[in-house]
Chains A and B, each alone.
Chain A
Amino acid sequence: MPDPKNILMNQASVKTLSLKDLSFQRNEKFLFSNISLTLESGDILQILGQNGSGKTTLLRLISTALRPYSGEIIWQGKNVNDIRESYLEDVLFLGHQPGLKRLLSAEENLVWWRRLNKTNLSKNVNAFEEVGLYNHKDEPCNYLSVGQLKRAALARLYVSEAKLWILDEPFTSIDKEFSIKLKSLIVSHLKRGGIVVLATHQDLKIENMKYFSISDLSGATSE
């Protein structure tokens, strides 16, 4: 069982996320079973695995979109099912799909998302300037290219107050220049005491990066 124990502390208010014996079943087969690991403020975990190995599923489990077959997810010592809402206030999840309404502009989408996630609307960071979409922020997302859509989705990272970032393939369809920017954004989030869990095939070369490979466990069958 890969259980990274090298704990790193650099903040006063340390947040902890632990997965305890997490298993998930689909079609009578275990996609993975008994995953246990702990992450603390400043930790970044890269999930590795082949296509279809269950990376996205694991991320969805951590974001509570999916319920595990068995095992639990612990945030600050409490099962996330018991503190669902306060946990989710600390979570930012970006999936495969950008999660943007095509008929609304990038800015309308972001405002909508901020309102729903109860982030502080007065906090005025120009996210679209950061992601290089300032001139396009009022256009309907229909007119944006795939890469621009991804950037519009990633704009949430600049306004979010969430401690735990769960990112599914954040580096796909963005150019090299923005990749570097995104990487430094992730690093600064870690320095602020955040936690990042991400699935990507890129080698990010971030210090103290933890790895978890799902393929190690594949082939586990039921009962």
Chain B
Amino acid sequence: MASPRWFYQISGRWLPWLSLLTFVSIIIGVIWGLGFAPQDAKQGNSFRIIYIHVPASFLALVGYYIMAISGAIAIIWKIKLADVVMKSAAPIGASLTFIALLTGAVWGKPTWGTYWIWDARITSMLILFFLYLGVIVLQKAYSAQGLSNKAAALLALVGTINIPIIYKSVDWWYTLHQPATIKFTEAPSMHPDMFQPLLIMIIGFYLFYVTALIVSMRAEIIFRERNTSWVKELALNLKDKRPI
């Protein structure tokens, strides 16, 4: 159980269903959110970017903890599959963080009149992005030398202790330096008509995260186990099936 091979086989069966669910929920969420949800009283149509921004920021943070916890499991219990999760989760989380930053900037232009502003939440998100980059860079450096990525797992774990401290200190910093002219209001209490499509988008992003993680893990497993007989067999079968 829980061997990479077992996971590869079982995830192969889940994958079509998961992809379908992801696709359906994101399509529904996008059409509903962009086409049918009511306009925001102050921000007009530009607020609609929250249907991507909020779920992405949400999963960016959750993704860091998923990565760190699986890293801890890989170090402590030496479970190979957890190590694969850790390695695959890093670039996905970093991409989501990047999407959150990018959509935040696009949203900022009509809202604040500028693409970038040193707001507490944006700054925290940026630091989270740096934390991801650190883990990825360390992973790459170790694998380039043929070493395991346990060091990166430990770094991710240290990051989890630090994220609350970093977030709190950025909040503290921001309240001290808060410019009087621009004040970003908290997302106003949302109308249910706006909230329902957001919920669907959040679910859709969760599903997307899991799907992307599984696809990436499968690739990593095949790579790691490339010298085992079951992968070689798999490759041969694939070759036979392919029309020449």
**Chain A residues close to B by CB (< 8 Å):** 26-28, 69, 221-223
B3 touches A27 (CB 8 A): no
Asked if B148 is at the interface (CB within 8 A of a chain A CB), the reply is yes
Q: CB within 8 Å of A: which residues of B?
A: 3, 5, 78, 80, 146-148, 224-225, 227-228
CB contact under 8 A between A28 and B78, given known A221-B227, A221-B228, A223-B228: no
Q: Across the two chains, which residue of chain A brings its CB closest to B78?
A: A69
In angstroms, Cα B78 to Cα A28, docked, is 11
Among candidates A27, A69, A221, residue contacting B146 with C-beta atoms closer than 8 Å: A27
Q: Please determine whether B3 and A223 come into contact, CB atoms closer than 8 angstroms.
A: yes
A221 to B146 alpha-carbon distance, docked (Å): 17
- Residues on B with C-beta less than 8 A from A222 are 228
Q: List 14 A-B contacts (CB under 8 A).
A: A26-B148, A27-B146, A27-B147, A27-B148, A28-B80, A28-B224, A28-B225, A69-B78, A221-B227, A221-B228, A222-B228, A223-B3, A223-B5, A223-B228
Query: Chain A residues with Cβ under 8 A from B227's Cβ?
Result: 221
- Nearest CB of chain B from residue A64's CB, rounded to whole Å: 17
A contact face: mostly helix, strand, loop, or mixed: loop
A-B contact count (CB 8 A): 14
Summarize B's interface: helix, strand, loop or mixed: loop
Q: Which residue of A lies closest to B148 (CB)?
A: A27
The residues of A that contact B224 with a CB separation of less than 8 Å are: 28
Determine the chain A residues whose CB is within 8 A of the CB of B78 once the complex forms. Answer: 69
Closest A residue to B80 by beta carbon equals A28
Closest to B4 in A: A223
Complex-state Cα separation, A27 to B224, whole angstroms: 9
| B residues near A223, Cβ cutoff 8 Å | 3, 5, 228
Q: Which of A26, A221, A222 has the most CB of B within 10 A?
A: A222
Chain B nearest CB: distance from A182 CB in Å?
A: 34
> What residues of B have a CB within 8 angstroms of the CB of A27 in the complex?
146-148
Query: Which residues of chain A are within 8 angstroms of B228 by Cβ–Cβ distance?
Result: 221-223
In the bound assembly, the distance between CA atoms of A69 and B225 in angstroms comes to 18
The residue of chain B having its C-beta at the shortest distance from the C-beta of A27 within the complex is B146
Max chain B CB contacts within 10 Å: which of A27, A28, A221? A28
B9 to chain A, nearest CB (A): 14
What 3 A-B pairs come out closest when comparing CB atoms?
A: A28-B224, A27-B146, A223-B3
Contacts of A26 in B (CB 8 A): 148
B148 to A: closest C-beta gap in Å: 7
Q: How many Å from the CB of A46 to the closest CB on chain B?
A: 29
How far apart sit A27 and B146, CA to CA, in the bound complex (Å)?
7
Q: In the assembled complex, how far is the CB of residue B65 from the closest CB belonging to chain A, in whole angstroms?
A: 26
Chain A neighbourhood of B5, CB < 8 A = 223
Q: Tell me the minimal C-beta distance from B5 to chain A in angstroms.
A: 8
Chain B residue at minimal CB-CB distance from A26? B148
Q: How far is the CA of A223 from the CA of B7 in the complex (A)?
A: 14
Taking the closest CB of chain B, its distance from the CB of A81, in whole angstroms, is 14
A27 to B148 Cα, complex, angstroms: 6
CB-CB nearest in chain A for B224: A28
A211 to B147, CA, bound (A): 30
Q: Which residues of B sit under 8 angstroms from A28, Cβ to Cβ?
A: 80, 224-225
Distance (Å) between the CB of A67 and the closest chain B CB?
A: 9
Known contacts A26-B148, A223-B228; can you find 5 more A-B pairs with CB under 8 A? Answer: A27-B146, A28-B225, A221-B227, A221-B228, A222-B228
Q: How far is the CA of A75 from the CA of B225 in the complex (A)?
A: 36
CB distance from B8 to the nearest CB of A (A): 13
How many angstroms from the CA of A26 to the CA of B227 in the assembled complex?
A: 15
Q: How far is the CB of A144 from chain B (nearest CB, A)?
A: 31
How far is A223 from B227 in the complex, measured between Cα atoms in Å?
12
- Least Cβ–Cβ distance between A21 and chain B, in angstroms: 15
* Complex CA–CA separation, A26 to B228 (angstroms): 16
A54 to chain B, nearest CB (A): 15
Q: State the CA gap A27–B227 with chains docked (Å).
A: 12
Q: How far is the CA of A222 from the CA of B226 in the complex (A)?
A: 12
> In whole Å, how far is A157's beta carbon from the nearest beta carbon of chain B?
32
How far does the alpha carbon of A26 sit from the alpha carbon of B148 in the complex, in Å? 8
Q: Which residues of A contact B225 (CB under 8 A)?
A: 28
Q: How far is the CB of B219 from chain A (nearest CB, A)?
A: 15
